[in-house]
Amino acid sequence: MPDQAVNPPNESSALSTGLALTIETGVNLKPYNSFGLPATAHRLVRIRSAADLRRVVDHPQLGRAPKFVLGGGSNIVLTKDVDAVVLKMEIPGIRLLEDRADAWIIEAGAGVPWHQLVQWSIEQGFPGLENLALIPGTVGAAPVQNIGAYGLEIKDRLDSVAVLDLVTGRNVVLPASVCKFGYRDSVFKQTGFGGLAGKSVITHVRLRCPKPWQPVLGYLEIERKMAESGVAAPSARQIFDWVCEIRRAKLPDPAVIGNAGSFFKNPLVSIDQCRDIIGRDPHIVHYPMPDGSIKLAAGWMIDACGWKGKAVGGAAVYERQALVLVNRGEARGAEVVTLARAIQESVYGRFGIRLETEPILL
């Protein structure tokens, strides 16, 4: 059966194929990336189930075409139109999969907004994810960059992920132990030998919230909240509320000001390198890591170089947190990249450190 045009939505058009897939063409991606950058997807398919993905793999034209998986669009900088077939992940559903003696196992579809899952888990009485409240993006994107905040990373709560192999079309469940998690890194982001970037798509995520629940405290800002409130043994709900307050106070809400969260990773350096930098800048914020390396606060370095509030066109450095770049209005991807490069050069010039970007530049 030939492809047929059906109900073109606004400026884009949709093609329904014999394999019951709808391929939208000429789709404006501005509403689908949290930076609010303009770009067009030549072809976009909404994925609402693992079976939809399977149909893409089996499709005569789409099967072999390069693909780009789009979650909440909160970790990408679009600098041009997208030629690859955009797979917009919209798989719904949250459920308690198992109530074990030692843990609650929660399963969520890749398209569920991450914060919705955290909120649901707190409301249902399955604590353990509260430190990761208000992180933008979808459940399916969360393991890809091993999201983390306030002393917890998703790797600490991940049981397994269900993926569809784009080459074989098979569904596979991967335990957390094979996901090669690192700081904002995982096998799903890696492109080299053994990496799964571009080879598989996460359809569902299973999280393990251990029993009995134990709070993750110790992060400076949470300790400050404990001291201010006099609450020495906070509940999960209390930590959830504090994390929301802390984030709202210093991170821009992407629904109001376009952004992609932290724009750079906090660099890891050796003790010798750190000593050298501290010699020159005694106030630099740094944290010792379990492996003996030192993590430097990139936000502090960018701030020290005087970048807060500076702009290139519509792209600017957020006034309250220098690690976050924002869209002041009609920013274009190229402006964001120009600003980012200028920041990288100035930090390198002063500290001799090359900052790596956290979002993917497309």
Question: Per the structure block, which two tokens stand in for 358?
Answer: 């956290």
Neighbours of 16 (CB within 10 A): 15
Q: 263 with 358: CB under 8 angstroms?
A: yes
Give the residue, chosen from 87, 122, 164, 322, that forms a contact with ligand EPU under the rule CB under 6 A. Answer: 322
Of the pair 149, 209, the CB lying nearest ligand EPU is at 149
Please list, residue by residue across 250-261, b when 16 or more beta carbons sit within 10 angstroms of its beta carbon and e when fewer do: ebbebeebbbbb
Strand ranges of the sheet holding 286-288, from the earlier edge strand across to the other edge: 268-269, 294-296, 286-288
Residue with tokens 């502090």: 300
Of the pair 140, 162, the CB lying nearest ligand EPU is at 140
Of the pair 21, 154, the CB lying nearest ligand EPU is at 154
Which residue type is seen at 114? W
Task: Decide: is 197 part of the binding site for ligand EPU (CB under 6 A).
Answer: no
Give the residue, chosen from 132, 149, 196, 343, that forms a contact with ligand EPU under the rule CB under 6 A. Answer: 149
In the set 43, 46, 184, 208, the catalytic residue is 184
Task: Decide: is 353 part of the binding site for ligand EPU (CB under 6 A).
Answer: no
In the set 121, 186, 262, 346, the catalytic residue is 262
Q: What x/- string results for residues 92 through 131 when contact with ligand EPU is judged by CB under 6 A?
A: ----------------------------------------
Task: Decide: is 321 part of the binding site for ligand EPU (CB under 6 A).
Answer: yes
3-class DSSP state of 268? strand
Task: Decide: is 323 part of the binding site for ligand EPU (CB under 6 A).
Answer: yes
Q: 34 with 259: CB under 8 angstroms?
A: yes
Residue with tokens 């080879």: 199
**Nearest CA-CA partner of 68 in 90, 44, 51:** 44
Verify whether residue 262 is a known catalytic residue: yes
Of the pair 122, 322, the CB lying nearest ligand EPU is at 322
- The Cα–Cα gap between 294 and 94 comes to 38
Of the pair 165, 358, the CB lying nearest ligand EPU is at 358
Tell me if the bond preceding 212 is cis, omega within 30° of 0: yes
Verify whether residue 330 is a known catalytic residue: no
Neighbours of 93 (CB within 10 A): 13
Verify whether residue 200 is a known catalytic residue: no
Q: Interface residues for ligand EPU in 243-302 (CB under 6 A)?
A: 261-262, 265-266, 285, 297, 299-300
Task: Decide: is 138 part of the binding site for ligand EPU (CB under 6 A).
Answer: no
Catalytic residue annotation: 184, 262, 358
Q: Where do contacts with ligand EPU occur on this chain (CB under 6 A)?
A: 149-150, 261-262, 265-266, 285, 297, 299-300, 303, 321-323, 358
